Amino acid sequence: MGDQQILILGAPGAGKGTQSKRLAEEYDLEHVTTGDALRENRDMETEHGTPREYMEAGELVPDELVNEIVEEALSSADGYVLDGYPRNESQVEYLQRITDLDVVLHLEVSEETLVDRLAGRRVDPETGDNYHVEFDMPDDEEVRERLIQREDDQEETVRERLRVFEENTEPVIDHYEDHEGYVRIDGEQSPDEVWEEIKEAVDERTE
């Protein structure tokens, strides 16, 4: 297993999941993603209610719960790519206490593109892989037929997720701009072009 410790930042729909999957494969890293972990446990009863209630409204799930998920996942991984966390300043402080980062990738994408990507996203319920009706459909017909839309990709929820991102997570990105491993990536390009830029940035910073 690789030992690179990578954080990937970006708005909802920026391509964090798509590129994290490639990073995890290429460098043999653990893909630690709070969104997927919460979706797998969406009906778990906690003292704050279930994750589903927050996610379907496009709101952040309480810090306590996500901090615990991340701490546990990072403690069992050498190298990792962290996707979907931290999303507010309090999560930033928590993360700083439990790990160091070698590379901080910031996928930059315009709001108009984000909305198109989220509206057209389809997910394979068996593998969790993300596809897109226009930009990226699987060749295998069996996979194509079983694709579903994520519950929080409805138009109204998308708008709320983007608002929550602007309010809570943009300050997080500002914070990491001063990190020595920070690199801005043009996320508007095709998935392969974005990947080339990411790979170059990671190789440069971790050799």
Cα atoms in the 13 Å half-sphere on the side-chain side of 69:
26
Which residues, numbered 157-176, are part of the site for ligand AP5 (CB under 6 A)?
A: 161
**Rounded-to-integer distance, Cα 201 and Cα 207, Å:** 10
Q: Using an 8 Å Cβ cutoff, are 134 and 37 in contact? A: no
Nearer to ligand AP5, 5 or 34 (CB): 34
49 bridge partner residues? 46
* CA nearest to 2, candidates 81, 100, 79: 79
Burial class (CB within 10 angstroms; exposed 0-12, middle 13-18, buried 19+) of 47? exposed
Any contact of residue 60 with ligand AP5 (CB under 6 A)?
A: yes
* Cβ nearer to ligand AP5, comparing 3 with 53: 53
Decide if residue 16 touches ligand AP5 (CB under 6 A). Answer: yes
67 binds, among ligand AP5, Mg ion, none (CB under 5 to 8 A by kind): none
Q: Do 159 and 80 meet the contact criterion of CB atoms below 8 Å apart?
A: no
How is residue 2 written in tokens?
A: 């690789």
Binding residues for Mg ion, rule: CB under 5 A, are 17
21 catalytic residue (yes or no): no
**Residue 146 annotated to the active site:** no
Note whether 131 binds ligand AP5 by CB under 6 A.
Answer: yes
What residues numbered 66-85 form the site for ligand AP5, per CB under 6 A? Answer: 66, 84-85
**Is position 132 an interface residue for ligand AP5 (rule: CB under 6 A)?**
yes
Q: What distance in Å separates the CA atoms of residue 187 and residue 185, rounded to the nearest whole number?
A: 6
Element housing 37 (H / E): helix 34-40
Minimum CB–partner distance for residue 29 and ligand AP5 (Å):
16
195 forms part of the interface with ligand AP5 (CB under 6 A)? no
Cβ 127 to Mg ion, closest distance in Å? 14
Question: Is 122 a catalytic site residue?
Answer: no
The catalytic residue among 39, 52, 150, 205 is 150
* H/E element, 170: helix 170-176
Q: Which stretch binds ligand AP5 (CB under 6 A): 8-16, 71-79, 174-182, 196-204?
A: 8-16
Least separation, in Å, of the C-beta of 46 and ligand AP5?
A: 13
Verify binding: residue 117, ligand AP5, rule CB under 6 A. Answer: yes
